[in-house]
C-alpha cells in the first residue's frame, strides 16, 4: 500500500493502522454446530476430536482475537437455544452429524458472519436483527458450514504465512513499529474475504444443505436482497460511506441463488417459521452496544472508561469496530481508538515511537486537559496531514488521529476543539446514554407499514429502517395478527 492508497475509508476502518487479519471473513451468509455460544474473550473453546491439527491451531489462535475485535461475546438465551437446534439439523443435512462446531454470537451491530478452520463460526447480533425467519438464518448458517466443509476457510488462512510481508507493507505507510495491540483492533475491512468463486460455491452448497434440512431454499436469495437494501440504507445514512458492507449482494449473485433454489422447489417450499424466529430474537440489543460507548449528537460518551468528548458541528460521528470515527464535509476525518502503552512510557515517547509515519518530532508537546494527561504532535505524508493526540486516563491510553488533505486553519481548529473537550463523565453524561433494543409489534386490522413504523418515530429515518428490517417495500401490505420488528429506545 502506498501513501496514495491511504484512502479515507482505509483510515477510518483502521486498515492503515493495524495488521491485516489473515483469517477467513464473509459478510455474506454464516454458520455453526454442536454449539458453544457462551464464552468470554479470555477463554478458548475445546476443539472437537478429529479436527486437523493445523486447523485447530489456526482456530484457537484467532478465536480470542476475533472476539476482542468485535466487542466481545453477546449473550441472549432464547437466540442461543434456537441456534443450537438449527445447527444440529443443518449439520445432519450436510452429512456431518457428529461434527462439532463452535458458534459465537458477537456483540457487534455489523451485518456479518464468517468462519475459521477448526469449526469456529461467528454471527453478529446485527445479522440476527436483519433476518426475518428461521429459513433466512438457516441459509446464513448453511453458507458458513459450506465454507468450512469445502475447506475455503483453510485455503484463506494460508495467508497467515504472508503476515510478515503484510507487516512490511503497513509499516511502509505508518512507520517502522507495529502497534503491539494491533491484532486486537481489527475491523471487518481487515478480515481477508473469500474469493468470488468461493462465495458462489458456498451459496450453492449452503442452499442444498438448508433445503435438505427442510428449510425454504429461496431464503438465501431473500436474505441477500435484504442485505443489499440494508447496505444502501447504511450508506445513505453515512453520506455515501458504507463501513458495514464489504461484500455487496449483487443482482447476479441473487439471481444465481434463485436459480439454485429452484432445483429444490418453488417459493413456499420448506419451513420458514417467521413467528418462532422473531420471538427468539425479541429483546436483542440493536445498533451500537453501550459497552462500546454511545453517540449523542456531536458527543461520544464511554460509560466503561468514563470519558466523553465533542466533535465540531461539521463532523458526523459513528461507531466502528474498536473505534469511533467522524467525517467532515471537507474530507477531514477523525479516528478515536485505544492502544496498549506501558504505564511507565511517557506519552510523548509513545508518539515518537514510530507507529505513525511522517511525524515531526519538534511539534510534540504535552499538557493537561481537564486534569487528563495528553501529548500532541503533527505528521505529514505525501497527501495527508495528521494531527495526533494521545491521552492517558486511569492507566488506559486513547488516541485521537485527525487526517486531512489540506492543513487548513479549520482542520487544526477542529482537532484542537475536540481535544479541549475531552473530560471525565459526570452523572448527567451517563444519563444521556440510552439502550436500543429490537422489539415486536403485532399488526392490527387497520395497520399498514406506515402506522407500524410510527412506533419508531423517535429514530432518524425510522420509517425507512422499519421497511428494511422487515424486508418490506413501500406500499407492501402487512398481515393482520403477525409480528413485525421495531426498534425501541429504553
In the chain, what are the helix, strand and coil shares in percent, each to the nearest 5?
Answer: 40, 20, 40
Question: What are the grid coordinates assigned to 223, written together?
Answer: 436474505
- Which helix (H) or strand (E) segment holds residue 363: the answer is strand 359-369
Q: Average pLDDT of each block of 10 consecutive residues along the chain (490 residues)? A: 45 40 30 36 44 69 82 92 92 84 88 80 92 96 87 55 34 34 36 69 94 97 93 72 48 93 93 96 88 87 93 88 81 90 96 90 96 96 91 96 91 96 94 88 92 85 93 91 91
417 lies in the same domain as 445? no
275 lies in the same domain as 302? no
The enclosing domain of 337 has a CATH number of 3.40.1000.10
Question: What are the grid coordinates assigned to 2, written together?
Answer: 502506498
CA–CA distances in Å: residue 390 to residues 190, 265, 340, 352, 400: 24, 59, 12, 11, 6
368 lies in the same domain as 479? no
pLDDT of residue 114: 81
pLDDT of residue 117: 75
214 lies in the same domain as 81? yes
* Helix ranges restricted to H, 110-261: 125-130, 134-149, 152-157, 163-174, 196-212, 219-237, 251-261
pLDDT of residue 313: 93
390 lies in the same domain as 341? yes
203 lies in the same domain as 312? no
Query: Which SS3 state, helix, strand or coil, does residue 141 take?
Result: helix
Q: How far apart are CA 33 and CA 83, in angstroms?
A: 8
Question: What are the grid coordinates assigned to 470, written together?
Answer: 422487515
DSSP β-bridge partners for residue 487 = 438
162 lies in the same domain as 138? yes
Radius of gyration from C-alpha coordinates of the chain: 23
pLDDT of residue 155: 57
Q: How far is CA 198 from the centre of its chain?
A: 21
Is the distance from CB of 415 to CB of 403 less than 8 angstroms? Answer: no
Is the distance from CB of 135 to CB of 270 less than 8 angstroms? Answer: yes
265 lies in the same domain as 309? no
171 lies in the same domain as 136? yes
273 lies in the same domain as 319? no
Task: Count, in order, helices (H) and strands (E) of the chain.
Answer: 16, 18
The enclosing domain of 446 has a CATH number of 3.10.350
200 lies in the same domain as 53? yes
pLDDT of residue 350: 96
- The 8-class DSSP code of residue 45 comes to P
Q: How far apart are CA 62 and CA 64, in angstroms?
A: 6
Is the distance from CB of 387 to CB of 414 less than 8 angstroms? Answer: no
Number of domains present in the structure of the chain: 3
DSSP string, 100-133: --EEEEES--S--EEEETTTEEEEEHHHHHH--S
Given 404, 431, 458, the domain boundary residue is 431
Q: CB 235: neighbour CB atoms within 10 A?
A: 16
Given 232, 252, 281, the domain boundary residue is 281
DSSP β-bridge partners for residue 54 = none
Q: How far is CA 478 from the centre of its chain?
A: 31
164 lies in the same domain as 15? yes
> If you search the block for the grid coordinates 450453492, which residue do you land on?
204
Q: How far apart are CA 142 and CA 220, in angstroms?
A: 10
Given 431, 464, 479, the domain boundary residue is 431
Q: CB 62: neighbour CB atoms within 10 A?
A: 23
Q: Which of 210, 206, 77 is nearest to 133 (CA)?
A: 210
Supply the range of the domain harboring residue 453. 436-489
Question: What are the grid coordinates assigned to 270, written together?
Answer: 420448506
Amino acid at each position: 500500500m502506498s501513501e496514495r492508497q491511504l484512502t479515507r475509508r482505509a483510515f477510518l476502518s483502521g486498515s492503515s493502522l493495524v495488521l491485516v487479519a489473515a483469517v477467513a471473513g464473509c459478510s455474506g451468509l454464516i454458520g455453526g454446530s454442536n454449539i458453544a455460544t457462551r464464552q468470554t474473550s479470555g477463554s478458548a473453546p475445546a476443539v472437537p476430536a478429529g479436527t486437523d491439527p493445523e486447523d485447530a491451531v489456526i482456530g484457537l489462535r484467532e478465536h480470542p482475537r476475533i472476539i476482542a475485535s468485535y466487542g466481545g461475546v453477546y449473550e441472549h438465551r432464547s437466540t442461543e437455544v434456537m441456534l443450537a437446534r438449527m445447527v444440529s439439523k443443518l449439520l445432519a443435512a450436510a452429512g456431518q452429524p457428529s461434527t462439532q462446531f463452535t458458534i459465537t454470537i458477537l456483540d457487534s451491530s455489523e451485518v456479518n458472519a464468517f468462519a475459521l478452520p477448526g469449526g469456529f463460526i461467528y454471527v453478529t447480533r446485527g445479522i440476527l436483527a436483519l433476518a426475518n425467519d428461521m429459513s433466512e438464518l438457516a441459509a446464513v448458517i448453511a453458507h458458513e458450514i459450506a465454507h468450512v466443509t469445502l475447506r475455503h476457510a483453510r485455503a484463506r488462512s494460508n495467508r497467515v504465512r504472508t503476515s510478515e510481508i503484510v507487516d512490511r507493507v503497513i509499516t511502509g505507510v505508518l512507520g517502522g513499529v507495529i502497534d503491539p495491540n494491533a491484532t486486537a483492533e481489527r475491523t471487518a475491512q481487515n478480515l481477508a474475504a473469500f474469493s468470488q468463486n468461493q462465495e458462489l460455491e458456498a451459496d450453492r452448497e449452503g442452499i442444498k444443505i438448508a433445503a435438505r434440512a427442510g428449510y425454504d431454499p429461496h431464503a438465501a436469495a431473500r436474505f441477500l436482497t435484504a442485505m443489499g437494501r440494508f447496505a444502501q440504507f447504511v450508506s445513505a445514512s453515512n453520506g455515501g460511506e458504507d463501513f458495514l458492507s464489504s461484500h455487496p449482494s449483487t443482482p447476479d449473485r441473487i439471481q444465481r441463488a434463485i436459480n439454485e433454489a429452484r432445483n429444490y422447489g418453488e417459493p413456499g417450499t420448506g419451513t420458514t417459521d417467521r413467528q418462532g424466529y422473531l420471538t427468539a430474537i425479541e429483546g436483542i440489543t440493536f445498533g451500537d452496544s453501550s459497552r462500546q460507548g454511545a453517540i449523542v449528537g456531536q458527543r461520544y460518551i464511554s460509560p466503561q472508561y468514563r470519558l466523553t468528548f465533542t466533535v465540531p458541528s461539521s463532523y458526523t460521528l459513528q461507531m466502528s469496530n474498536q473505534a469511533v470515527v467522524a467525517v467532515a464535509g471537507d474530507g477531514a476525518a477523525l479516528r478515536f481508538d485505544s492502544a496498549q502503552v506501558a504505564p511507565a512510557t511517557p506519552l510523548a515517547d509513545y508518539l515518537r515511537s514510530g507507529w505513525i509515519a511522517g511525524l515531526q518530532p519538534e511539534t510534540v508537546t504535552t499538557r493537561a486537559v481537564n486534569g487528563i494527561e495528553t501529548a500532541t504532535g503533527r505528521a505529514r505524508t505525501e497527501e495527508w496531514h495528521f494531527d495526533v493526540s494521545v491521552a492517558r486516563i486511569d492507566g488506559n491510553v486513547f488516541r485521537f488521529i485527525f487526517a486531512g488533505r489540506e492543513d487548513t486553519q479549520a482542520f487544526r481548529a477542529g482537532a484542537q476543539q475536540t481535544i479541549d473537550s475531552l473530560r471525565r463523565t459526570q452523572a448527567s453524561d451517563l444519563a444521556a446514554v440510552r439502550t436500543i433494543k429490537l422489539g415486536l409489534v403485532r399488526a392490527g386490522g387497520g395497520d399498514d407499514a406506515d402506522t407500524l413504523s410510527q412506533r419508531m418515530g423517535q429514530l432518524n429515518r425510522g420509517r425507512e429502517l422499519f421497511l428494511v428490517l422487515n424486508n418490506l417495500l413501500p406500499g407492501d401490505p402487512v398481515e393482520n395478527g403477525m409480528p413485525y420488528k421495531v426498534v425501541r429506545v429504553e
